Amino acid sequence: MSNVIYLDNNATTRIDPQVFEVMCGWLRDGYGNPSSGYALGRAALGALDAARSQVAALASCREDELIFTSCGTESINTAVHAALALDPDKRHIVTSTVEHSATIKLCEHLAQRGYEITWLPVDGLGRLDPAQLEEAVREDTALVTLLWANNETGVLFPVQEIAEIVRRKKSLLHVDAVQAFGKLPLALEDAGIHFLSASGHKIHAAKGVGALYVNRRVRFTPLLRGSQENARRGGTQNVASIAGFGKAAEIAAAHLGGPTVSGYRDRFEAHLLASVTGCTVNGDRANRLPTTTNLSFDGIESEGALILLDERGICCSAGSACTSGSIHPSHVLKAMGFSNERARASLRFSFGRFNTPEEIAAACEIVPAAIEKLRTLSPAGSPVVVTA
């Protein structure tokens, strides 16, 4: 896989070698159960404590406000269930039409169980209107659950403004920060956020580890019952992955705000806009993650483009990884008012700190050539399956 140019860092990231080292130590030698009282167990518990303080430092929160989970999806499900358990009479949830499938599927399920869901729309640039949120939150709103950064476009929701509205309306706020965590500065202390979800594999840790922040003033009801994590998340902790997540958080904190990744994105995006006709940026360029560009190319089909780019060594995606493989146009781009044709002509490129300037230079050659080839193979707008 060494020749692959990996431009799909919103789907997942490569494990940082330093994270890998930390994990190997715990997998190989530190196999004690953190709940065991002897030295081997205490050492594992120490690894959890260290990781908790590293993740807390990145989030500017207290260590006792963090629960380790198995992934971002579990964190989201836990937060929503905890909020609903607080007051069973509150049967209304506010979310948006551009959430990750973890939230969308959960809210659809809750709708079948009798909850009323308000799906806030976004505008053509993927932006949320805070006035619409203000209008949507009611006395019986149990929870507002919204993304911080969109996984497909990178567009940011105004989390501070959202928190202020939710506070005024006396409801609860969960933020899905899976894409933003470790990429944008975050100060949870006094942020007015009640729950926040994060995931290790988006910041160069392993897949299958996540964290949930629960503000210490919120009464918490666990989803998985058991004694671990202070009885807030049952199940023996995945010590190696959690220790690796802690290391990844420490490294992310050191890189936060650095110009490298946004420089790669900007260079690639500017080159494509200048060299490919009919190329447009999807989403609010002024307000998005530094890692992400989502581009439409007139007259192509993203499925054919993905095959051709894969053959030429480029990993990127059409829509989110969780929905790729399906022929449905991205629900995010559709929610932004795109036609099926334009939504299907869109590709997401997401950059990370393991990319190199040479890779970006190569991608600047390969991608325009591939788009050109697709256009010569297919009359504008008609589907094409590329075999060469």
Catalog residues that contact ligand PLP under the rule CB under 6 A: 71-73, 100, 102, 147, 151, 176, 178-179, 199, 201, 210
Active-site position among 24, 107, 322, 364: 322
Q: How far is the CB of 214 from ligand PLP (least distance, A)?
A: 17
Q: Do β-strands 66-69 and 210-214 pair in parallel, antiparallel, or remain unpaired?
A: antiparallel
Instruction: CB nearer to ligand PLP: give 179 or 355.
Output: 179
Can you tell me the distance from the alpha carbon of 230 to that of 34, in angstroms, rounded to the nearest whole number? 12
Instruction: For 131-153, give the secondary structure using H, E and C.
Output: HHHHHHCCCCEEEEEEECECCCC
Instruction: CB nearer to ligand PLP: give 100 or 344.
Output: 100
φ/ψ (deg, to 5) at 249? -65, -40
Closest CA to 194 of 79, 89, 103: 79
φ/ψ (deg, to 5) at 37? -85, -15
Q: Do β-strands 66-69 and 5-6 pair in parallel, antiparallel, or remain unpaired?
A: unpaired
Q: How far is the CB of 179 from ligand PLP (least distance, A)?
A: 5
DSSP 8-state secondary structure symbol assigned to residue 70: S
Which secondary structure element, helix H or strand E, spans residue 174, and what is its range? strand 173-176
Instruction: CB nearer to ligand PLP: give 70 or 276.
Output: 70
**Token representation of residue 284:** 């609010």
Instruction: CB nearer to ligand PLP: give 12 or 378.
Output: 12
Q: How far is the CB of 43 from ligand PLP (least distance, A)?
A: 27
Q: How far is the CB of 180 from ligand PLP (least distance, A)?
A: 8
Closest CA to 10 of 319, 328, 363: 319
Can you tell me the distance from the alpha carbon of 134 to that of 124, in angstroms, rounded to the nearest whole number? 20
Instruction: CB nearer to ligand PLP: give 147 or 363.
Output: 147
Instruction: CB nearer to ligand PLP: give 151 or 293.
Output: 151
Return the SS3 of 168: helix
Q: How far is the CB of 382 from ligand PLP (least distance, A)?
A: 31
Burial of 280 (0-12, 13-18, 19+ CB in 10 A): middle
Q: How far is the CB of 72 from ligand PLP (least distance, A)?
A: 3
Active site residue 107: no
Q: Which residue is nearest to ligand PLP (CB)?
A: 72
Instruction: CB nearer to ligand PLP: give 147 or 165.
Output: 147
Closest CA to 368 of 287, 283, 308: 308
Q: Count CB-CB contacts under 10 A for residue 338.
A: 19
272 close to 365: Cβ distance less than 8 angstroms: no
Expressed in percent and rounded to 5, the helix, strand and coil fractions of the chain are: 40, 15, 40
Q: Do β-strands 195-199 and 173-176 pair in parallel, antiparallel, or remain unpaired?
A: parallel
* Active centre residues (catalytic): 322
